[in-house]
Amino acid sequence: MSFATLGLSSTLTRAVHTLGFDAPTPIQQGAIGPALLGQDVLGSAQTGSGKTLAFALPLLQRLQANTDRVRQVQALVLVPTRELAAQVGEVLQSLAQHLPQRVKVSVFFGGVSINPQMMVLRGGTDVVVATPGRLLDLLGHNALKLDHVNLLVLDEADRMLDLGFSEELTQVLTHLPTRRQHLFFSATFSPAVQALAHSLLVDAVRVEVDATQQQPVEIMQRAIAVDTPRRTQLLRHLIKQHAWPRVLVFVATKFAAEIVADKLRKGGLTAEPFHGELSQGKRTQVLTDFKAERLNVMVATDVAARGLDIAQLPVVVNFDLPRSANDYTHRIGRTGRAGEAGLAVSFVSATTLAHWRLIAKRQQLDMPLESIDGFEAQEAAPPASSHPEAPGNGGVKGTRPSKKDKLRALAAQAAPSDDGR
């Protein structure tokens, strides 16, 4: 199937080919046609599936069809993170520059001064891509109006709700006209996403693409046993031994990102942390340097696990294991994109072994736990517990012990032993 068969204009078809896309992905095949017909769409596909083009192309074609328009916001794209806002904006702007009629795309997110963004809105704009918080700031300053929006796009809807944007989203909706088209895209159809879709979408076309339908991704996966204190040394050893030019390293906390990056720099590598507490200017600079290969290593929290498209990224390392199996998928999906081969490496210590086994089971992974010469694991595993949130079981997301569980555990510890001691 080609893009031309989906009902796109010849101009947009040529624009897509100019950007290097030859054939539509399954999510694009299922979503573009109904979206062009004006139907609501609820689309689900995993990371790297091409969701951005699935809504960007219908959005731009709809704008081009309105030849008598004045410059006012007609399409609104809401995203959960600053980096995803910038990325979606780049795609829309790249496509729009090939169109005969100029389309102004404006991108807004927090972490930077609002004044330059308000200046951008002078003279109006056609498309707004924004995070909910900054959009509400602009509305509060009367910098823009949304009463002519006829298309609302939610990208990474599940992530948006996970990050607690539901209240901000509700406020944004009060500024929109009642009649509008909706295109919602999400990696998962969580109950929260389904409830939101049920409240807003009308006779929506549901497009669900599972992993078997997506384009084949070549990601080699490895799990390496290593003692917790030696993970940084092992990481440095692997980078130098295999001459990896760029590595995206995932850690659990902002503090860990700073510490690991600092240790890698002391070991002779160019490394920078990437997390939510950095200023937007610093985050942008780190990401730009990493994409341009001026950095060997970017040490990131899960703020980088979704939405980032880093071309030809060869290696992802789970320095700390993710909280859930779904997060594992999103993390390793940063490599092996656009037909390129990739490598995902996970460090497994004695305390995280049970959690790794759970991830492997849910991901249907069948791989040996490797041992690297000179870095053989010596730590003993902690005592097993029946509760999945207990130490050594990895803290599986969504299965925390209840208050009753904790009280029972305390009572058991306080109870006298059978021998009377």
Q: Domain boundaries in the chain?
A: 3-208, 219-370
Q: pTM for this one?
A: 0.66
> What is the tens place of the pLDDT at every residue in 299-330?
999 877 666 777 778 899 999 999 888 788 88
Q: What is the distance, to the nearest Å, from the Cα of residue 294 to the centroid of all Cα atoms in its chain?
A: 23
Give the whole-angstrom CA distance, residue 105 versus residue 92.
7
| C-beta of residue 333 within 8 angstroms of C-beta of residue 363 | no
Q: What is the pLDDT of residues 76-101, one digit of tens each?
A: 999 988 888 888 998 999 898 888 88
Judge whether 30 and 5 are in contact, CB under 8 Å: no
Q: Tens digit of pLDDT for each residue in 278-301?
A: 887 888 899 889 988 899 999 999
Q: What DSSP assignment string belongs to 5-63?
A: GGT--HHHHHHHHHTT--S--HHHHHHHHHHHTT--EEEE--TTS-HHHHHHHHHHHHH
CATH class of 3-208: alpha beta
Q: Do the domains at 3-208 and 219-370 have one common CATH topology?
A: yes
Collapsing DSSP to helix, strand or coil, 220 comes out as: strand
At 217-266, the pLDDT tens digits run 578 899 999 999 999 999 999 999 999 999 999 999 999 999 999 999 99
CATH topology of domain 219-370: Rossmann fold (3.40.50)
